[in-house]
Amino acid sequence: MFGFRKKKREKKRSLPFPREWDEILARNVPYFLHLPLEGQDALRGHINVLLAEKNFEGCGGLEMTDEIRVTIAAYAAILMLNRDVDYYPGLASILVYPDAFVVPDEPPFDDVEVLQEEDVRLGESWTNGAIVLSWKSIANSMRKRGAAHNVILHEFAHQVDFEDGITDGVPLLDDNAAHAEWTRVMTGAYEALWQDIEKNRNSWLDEYGATDPAEFFAVLTETFFMRPHTLQRKHPDVYAVLREYYRQDPAAIMPKI
């Protein structure tokens, strides 16, 4: 069974990639343009698999388009590059609203990114098979040069975090040594963020990361890929740990902003 699925995915990865999709990547995913050619080819292959295996659904009147599907799949695929992982096996559907969306007061979801105190949200990542995103939030981050926020990376980071069966800010790591280093570095950085907030100091990281360790990891993932030079300068230990985990070095390929 697993051999058959592997062969099917190899076939999907090798499918032609439409020129129109490359144009979408060039417009919406700057990171793609800075990858080496083999990295670009690998990303295209992952996008093909994600588009074939996941259900993309427009909600709230949003018409699902190739631009939306390819953009979301591309950022999800970035988190997979160079890592020997499955294609988000617990994820079946990506639900996309045109704007921020409203949910019940006490939703039965395991992770929520809150836009305001009300139940208005930009994104959610569920452990029961779905991610919910706001296309307006995605489009805004693509238009803003040097943006630090990317709701796709944020919510898919929660799915990465859940690869070990629990969303706690500590993803599945290679061994005990990696786990010890992760705990040392991330605990110190998390406590430093809290100190900045308590003393009303400007923080190097979005304060939403202080919500809990899971949100800390998700916000760090956004920053690692969207503002790598800032993260590397402000907290080189954190950058080094994420570079080791994601097996990528964005600061080495992305221009300084």
pLDDT (0 to 100) of residue 108? 44
Q: What is the mean pLDDT of residues 172-188?
A: 94
pLDDT at 200: 83
Mean pLDDT of the chain: 88
Q: Which CATH class is domain 2-164?
A: mainly alpha
Helix (H, G, I), strand (E, B) or coil at 255: coil
- Give 46-63 pLDDT, tens digit per residue: 999 999 999 999 999 999
DSSP conformation letters of 111-153 = EEEESSSSSEEEEEE-TTSEEEEEHHHHHHHHHSTT----HHH
Name the residue with higher pLDDT: 36 or 100: 36
pLDDT beyond 90 at 249: yes
pLDDT at 256: 86
The pLDDT tens digits for 4-63 are 788 889 999 999 999 999 999 999 999 999 999 999 999 999 999 999 999 999 999 999
Which pLDDT score, from 0 to 100, does residue 147 have? 75
The pLDDT of residue 48 is 97
% of the chain beyond a pLDDT of 70: 89
Q: What is the pLDDT of residue 39?
A: 97
Q: Quick one: pLDDT at residue 143?
A: 76
Q: How confident is residue 115, by pLDDT bands cut at 50, 70 and 90?
A: very low
Phi-psi sector, 234: left (phi>0), alpha (psi -120 to 50), beta: alpha
- The mean per-residue pLDDT over the stretch 213-219 comes to 95
Contacts within 8 Å (CB) and 24+ apart, 23-26: 24/66, 24/67, 24/70, 24/71, 24/74, 25/70, 25/74
Phi, psi for 55 (deg, rounded to 5): -90, 120
Tokens of 137: 């939030």
Dist CA 207 CA 142 (whole Å): 21
What percentage of the chain reaches a pLDDT higher than 90? 66
Residue 101 has a pLDDT of 62
Where along the chain do its domains lie?
2-164, 176-253
Residue 107 confidence (pLDDT): 47
CA distance 12 to 87: 13
Q: Which residue has the higher pLDDT, 137 or 103?
A: 137
pLDDT at 148: 81
User: Could you read off the pLDDT of 71-85 as tens digits, one per residue?
Assistant: 999 999 999 999 988
Q: Is the dihedral of CA 195, 197, 202, 205 positive or negative?
A: positive
Instruction: Quote the pLDDT of residue 117.
Output: 47
As a CATH number, domain 176-253 is 3.40.390.10
| pLDDT (0 to 100) of residue 2 | 61
Angstrom CA distances, 18 to 23, 24, 30, stand at 9, 10, 18
CA distance between the termini of the chain: 47
**Per-residue model confidence (pLDDT) at position 142:** 81
pLDDT at 234: 92
